[in-house]
Amino acid sequence: MSSITTRHFLQSAGILLAGLVLAACGKQEPPAPAAGASAPAAAAPAAKVYLVGTDAAYAPFESQNEKGEIVGFDIEVVQAVAKKAGIEVKFVNTPWEGIFNTLAQGDRDLLVSSITITAERKQTMDFSTPYFDAEQLIAVKSDSKIAKFADLKKLKVGVQNGTTGDEVVAKLQGKDSANIKRFESTPLALKELEAGGVDAVVADNGVVVHYVANNTGSKFKTISDSSFAAEQYGLAVKKGNTELLAKLDKGLADIKADGTYEKIYTKYFGAPPVASAAKPAAAASK
Ligand code: ARG
């Protein structure tokens, strides 16, 4: 493009822009565009991109690959749900500590982070129908004498701060027990177990099993305990965001019904799910 044509183009664009501004002045203020999104064009407003908060240090559910991309079971579930719901999503690595506040503050539209649905959390946020069954699992060194959860009563136990693992150990030892070592992430707690700083780690079974399988050098074994309650993961939205919640629930029901969920589950866990959260809402809500 020659400079004359360029200038001509810029001038025309300027006139066009002035016209748009004048037109806009006569009407109501257009809504402010979402952060990162460009101003909506007159004809087709840019689709909303839903920001999904996830603590991506939780393989195989959410982690970062070598390229820094956020990947995992939870991620693929939400991608599939979004596709069914016809919404656009963007995953944002968000530390577990404070992750729930990002919803309340409107910095994230939804969270997927292997979040256990609990009565307490339900008071401050809303959850989708469950999408995954889980329970706590104990990790200890292979040569440990620890045989059951009650054995941890007076021992040093590593947990991820503010998780359901933290809650169960707090119940056993008292929440102010100096023997509860709270870490920012579950892998950090497991590293401390390897270093000998704690006697055991209590965390979600899927993450512990994955870690033990992928860090055979750590020489860990796992111990399950019948005292651990059944847990279910849900997608979280800001309290009262019924519009988004309905989209997510519909998307979840669709991917459970058409086999997409089972495909993702099998990819990550080697076999199709047997548990209730994999079933469409009617069964899961019983
Ligand atoms: N399921 C547990 C909870 O909800 C732990 C979840 C931790 N998730 C994570 N991505 N760090 O408390």
For the chain, how far is it from start to end, CA to CA, in angstroms? Answer: 67
Ligand 1 pocket residue status of 169, Cβ below 6 Å = no
- Only one residue has tokens 């892998």, namely 187
Query: Distance between CA atoms of 241 and 28, rounded to whole angstroms?
Result: 26
User: In DSSP terms, which residues pair with 62 in a beta bridge?
Assistant: 58
Cα 29 to middle of ligand 1, angstroms: 41
Please report, in tens digits, the pLDDT of each residue of the chain (286 residues total): 344 444 454 444 444 444 444 444 444 444 555 554 555 555 667 789 999 999 999 999 999 999 999 999 999 999 999 999 999 999 999 999 999 999 999 999 999 999 999 999 999 999 999 999 999 999 999 999 999 999 999 999 999 999 999 999 999 999 999 999 999 999 999 999 999 999 999 999 999 999 999 999 989 999 999 999 999 999 999 999 999 999 999 999 999 999 999 999 999 999 999 867 877 754 444 3
Cα 233 to middle of ligand 1, angstroms: 9
Phi and psi at 142, nearest 5°, equal -55, -35
Query: Distance between CA atoms of 267 and 157, rounded to whole angstroms?
Result: 32
Question: How much is the pTM?
Answer: 0.83
Ligand 1 pocket residue status of 163, Cβ below 6 Å = yes
Cα 163 to middle of ligand 1, angstroms: 5
Query: Distance between CA atoms of 225 and 132, rounded to whole angstroms?
Result: 19
Closest-CA residue, ligand 1 atom 12, reads 163
Quick count: other Cβ atoms within 10 Å of Cβ 29? 7
Query: Distance between CA atoms of 16 and 118, rounded to whole angstroms?
Result: 54
- Residue 109: which of 136, 88, 132, 130 has the closest Cα? 88
Cα 113 to middle of ligand 1, angstroms: 6
